[in-house]
Structure 1
Amino acid sequence: MRYIKTDLTCRLDNLPWTWFHTKFVMALGITWILDAFEVVIVSVVLKSMAKSLNLSVFQSSWLVSSFLIGALVGAFIFGYLADKFGRKKIFFITLLLYSLGTFLTGFANSFEIALLLRFITGFGLGGEFSAIHSAIDEFIPSRFRGRVDGFITASWNLGSIFASLVGMYLLSSFPEEKAWRYAFLFGGSLAILIVFIRFFIPESPRWLISKGLIEKAEEIVFKLEKKYHVKPINKQCEIPVFEGSLLDAVKIILKKYRGRFLFGTAMSFTILTTYYGFITILPLVITNQYNLPTKEIPNLLLTASIGGLIGGIVVSFLSDKLGRKITGTTVALFSFLTSFFFLTSQDIYTTVFVYSLVAYSFASVAYVSAMEVYPSYLRATAIGVLSVIGRISGMLAPPILTYLATIDYKLSVLGLSMLWLVGFAGFFIWSKFGVEAKGKSIEDIT
């Protein structure tokens, strides 16, 4: 592998926070809101959709599974393609796939068509994840990276809040057979509008450098320095140029970056299993234990989202202020402890809010910690692989926790608690042997 000496990456990190960075984060970070909107809106309208299309419970469940399977495949394939062909090309293609998939779902008239369109929707949204996170980590100045990644992750809760409100409005304002169609048409239209917003975003200079395209990278950085009157600094570093295959990239991840990959696996596993596990047992198990009617479920989910949004924003700042290690370890430990409140507390709304305030904020430090530690030439591939592991784990958590609940309610809650120990152990070990990335450039970390 050959190396290129350049000052461009240091010049990127030397930039102040500008209006460009704000627009950049908004245009790309919207993916998290769309992802949450898609997950929650399907939960809200699935019963109406099944009734309209005459679907069985088994067929209805496959509409959810098809989306998740599509996301798995999309994350892996587009992760590699983003490393091979660039971030910008991929996040246009993936957003178009998502928007068309969800928009056309609104016109589905059979189980087979709906199943295919849900797969396409997941395929696009899963691919978004790898390209978007790579582009953001590579463009944002190092001193802002933790809080920006954390805030974007916390914005997931905005999407879930928005979906809950949209679902409530549509179901109360239109007949059921039309409301679910309007929900998908609205989501698809929103995503199509975002495609146009992304036209101003340049390619990642770090990716361009890793492909030997120095002049193009220089042009992007120079324009930003000129526009915002920033004097270039004279500091150079070596950037590896990778020209291998997908298999070569995976081998490097599993060998050279084995420890980082195991840490990332623990983070991805914890984030997805605890989230999907909790939003499954909350309506199916926990509400029964507290003798709550079905109509209270949307309010509880809304409470959880609000708590998660507040906690995520706070943690996003702490990861840059205190560091990733101490923040991640502490949040994982407190998430483990607060999950036991569901065994003792009599006030379900307070318990859900407190738990979500802590637990939902974990992703705001865990995602950035797991994804900023790879060089630009294989970052998207690594993120894609980690996303696959996380989503598979997330698919398995709900049936396991609900099965435990059939034996004993306490076992289900204890199962959720044990999942948090994986994240705590991962961060605790990383605190001893891993790199603290707070305020450091991508090149210093990798």
Structure 2
Amino acid sequence: MSHQVETGRITTDIPARMDRLPWSRWHWTVVIGLGTVWILDGLEVTIVGSMTDALANPKTGLGLSSFDVGLAGAVYVAGACIGALFFGQLTDRFGRKKLFLITLGVYTAATVLTAFSMTPLWYFVARFITGAGIGGEYAAINSAIDELIPAKYRGRVDVAINGSFWVGAAGGALLTIPLLDPTKVDQEWGWRLAFGLGAILAIGILIVRRSVPESPRWLFIHGREDEGEVIVKEIEQKVSSETGKDLPSVSETITIRQRKTIPLPLIAKTVFTLYPRRTVLCFSLFVGQAFLYNAFFFTYGDTLIEFMGVTQTGYYIAVFAVSNFIGALVLGPLFDTIGRVKMLTGTYVLSGGLLLYTGLTLDTYTATTLTMMGCIIFFLASAGASAAYLTASEVFPMETRALCIAFFYAIGTAAGGIAGPLLFGKLIEDAVTGGEGISAIALGYYIGAALMIIGGLVAAVLGVKAEGQSLESIARPLTAEDDDPDPRDRTHTDPQTV
């Protein structure tokens, strides 16, 4: 790295002080301010998927053709991928707080624009910007949460927060019932009200989020250790006051060569050269969960309608979504106790195996039994999929954290949101027009199951035992002082356990 960007060397105990904090009301503020945006994402995605008819009708919507509806979905996915990569590198460069305020602002503004769409082009542009905001959120929020939450609780909090997407999905599914009922809501306004509601909720979250501080870990690495020290002292005072406990002293320190900026080539080299095994691990986890979800969830509504005679899918989707969130909530703590490797392997392999069995017996299900089977599969899968984001966030050096999350999120989103719908949509079309019946879509189940099982097996071999460990011990910062280098972290052998 250039000497021009180095600002000095410091020895700090900030990471140890943040990790030794007991859980308190302050931590709930972080969770609410940063984590609840996934509820908005789930709400919007579900509502958009259910509003196709209203948007397609030129009298109530924008006169979108079937191609336009598919294009809007692809535009949203493209925006999410590009936004994740764009805002991800900015998050590592300019700080967590600046970007998690900006990305939520982008999402909110784009959602309002969507509600006021007057032409298909307007709608497409608004969907792209909305996707960019959501993609940036995944990078900024996951990195900030992991750096503010104590190591003891990091796994369960991350899994639960990422799983909260399904709270929004359940809410969105239930909202579509009155919004799609012309006797209750004028169809010309129903879809616009849905987007407007999302914007109102986002503004509420933005107000809470303003009280969440910048990551002290990011500050001390970027030459702003005085600000980091002030923030940590304020957090300690709040936590001590809220819990009524004196905080224990710490002795663990880390020495850092501070940098104002970290060059992008160094970040790329770190991910692909210093940690190739962890790169393979994250790639396998993200692609596996993306295809698993699309294999079942993307075909779920059409399966109920086309093959099982269901006319109102909202209740079924809501039940399915609730099971996803309960799975993340119930199984999340086990990632901190039983451990990351065992839980990733178990949730991925078991859910993949159950989906494989479902595909083999697909023609024996009713709408109710298929929903019950989906609830069982994704009770397991949602925890594993949420833990994929946790893994990408904690197994790479701090300076690369947001960009790494963005990179793997973009891969998973592109695979699941572009390749997945193309493949599974074709299977459904062939099953309906070709008269082959429901068993024709089983191929999608087999592909999703195989990739999920592979992801679980990769986790068993390459998984990182990160439970209860500080982020700095899982992956030493690039700027860490090398006076006493640890060969497990600083060579190209890619450490897998610490």
CA distance in 1, matches of 2:461, 2:40: 36
Q: Secondary structure at the match of 1:142?
A: coil
Q: Answer with 376-385 or 250-259: which moved more.
A: 250-259
What is residue 250 of structure 2 aligned with on the other side?
A: 233
For residue 422 of structure 2, the aligned residue among 381, 399, 403 is: 399
Alignment of 1:42-441 (within 5 A): 42-51=48-57, 52-172=61-181, 173-229=184-240, 230-239=247-256, 241-242=258-259, 243-285=261-303, 288-289=306-307, 291-295=308-312, 297-339=313-355, 340-344=357-361, 345-346=364-365, 347-394=369-416, 395-405=418-428, 406=430, 409-410=438-439, 412-441=441-470
CA distance in 2, matches of 1:240, 1:38: 43
CA distance in 2, matches of 1:40, 1:379: 29
Q: Deviations over 1:323-373 (max 9, x none)?
A: 011111111111112112244243223222222322333223332123211
1:240–1:377 CA contact under 8 A, matched in 2: no
Q: Secondary structure at the match of 2:297?
A: helix
1:83–1:380 CA contact under 8 A, matched in 2: yes
Number of paired residues? 444
Q: Secondary structure at the match of 1:377?
A: helix
> How big is the shift at 1:286?
6.0
Code of the aligned partner of 1:348 = L
1:70–1:126 CA contact under 8 A, matched in 2: yes
> How big is the shift at 1:238?
3.5
Alpha carbons of structure 1 residues 186 and 44: separation in structure 2 relative to 1, 3 Å: same
Q: Answer with 71-80 or 389-398: which moved more.
A: 389-398
Q: Secondary structure at the match of 1:202?
A: coil
> How big is the shift at 1:226?
2.4
CA distance in 2, matches of 1:183, 1:71: 20
Q: Deviations over 1:27-75 (max 9, x none)?
A: 1001211111121110122320221212211112222221111111100
Q: Secondary structure at the match of 2:11?
A: strand
CA distance in 1, matches of 2:291, 2:452: 11
- Structure (1 or 2) with the greater helix fraction: 1
What is residue 6 of structure 1 aligned with on the other side?
A: 12
Code of the aligned partner of 1:425 = I
> How big is the shift at 1:283?
2.2
Alpha carbons of structure 1 residues 325 and 287: separation in structure 2 relative to 1, 3 Å: farther
Q: Deviations over 1:89-140 (max 9, x none)?
A: 0011110110111112111110111111111111111111100000001110
Residue 443 (structure 1) aligned with residue 443 (structure 2): no
> How big is the shift at 1:411?
5.6
CA distance in 2, matches of 1:337, 1:108: 43
Structure 1 residue runs without a partner (length 5+):
none
Q: Answer with 254-263 or 394-403: which moved more.
A: 394-403
CA distance in 1, matches of 2:156, 2:279: 22
CA distance in 1, matches of 2:269, 2:288: 24
> How big is the shift at 1:252?
1.9
2:100–2:141 CA contact under 8 A, matched in 1: yes
> How big is the shift at 1:397?
1.1
Code of the aligned partner of 1:40 = T
Q: Answer with 235-244 or 81-90: which moved more.
A: 235-244
Code of the aligned partner of 2:219 = L
Code of the aligned partner of 1:377 = E
CA distance in 1, matches of 2:404, 2:249: 31
CA distance in 1, matches of 2:127, 2:178: 23
For residue 23 of structure 2, the aligned residue among 17, 21, 42 is: 17
Alpha carbons of structure 1 residues 174 and 404: separation in structure 2 relative to 1, 3 Å: closer
> How big is the shift at 1:427?
3.6
2:353–2:449 CA contact under 8 A, matched in 1: no
Alpha carbons of structure 1 residues 253 and 398: separation in structure 2 relative to 1, 3 Å: same
Q: Secondary structure at the match of 1:146?
A: helix
CA distance in 1, matches of 2:204, 2:331: 30
CA distance in 2, matches of 1:55, 1:404: 23
Q: Answer with 196-205 or 342-351: which moved more.
A: 342-351
> How big is the shift at 1:4?
4.1
Q: Answer with 18-27 or 364-373: which moved more.
A: 364-373
Structure 2 residue runs without a partner (length 5+):
241-246, 476-498
CA distance in 1, matches of 2:343, 2:175: 34
> How big is the shift at 1:246?
2.3
> How big is the shift at 1:306?
1.6
Alpha carbons of structure 1 residues 342 and 307: separation in structure 2 relative to 1, 3 Å: farther
TM normalised by structure 2 equals 0.85
1:150–1:312 CA contact under 8 A, matched in 2: yes
2:340–2:463 CA contact under 8 A, matched in 1: no
CA distance in 2, matches of 1:7, 1:413: 54
CA distance in 2, matches of 1:220, 1:138: 13
CA distance in 2, matches of 1:271, 1:432: 18
Q: Answer with 372-381 or 358-367: which moved more.
A: 358-367
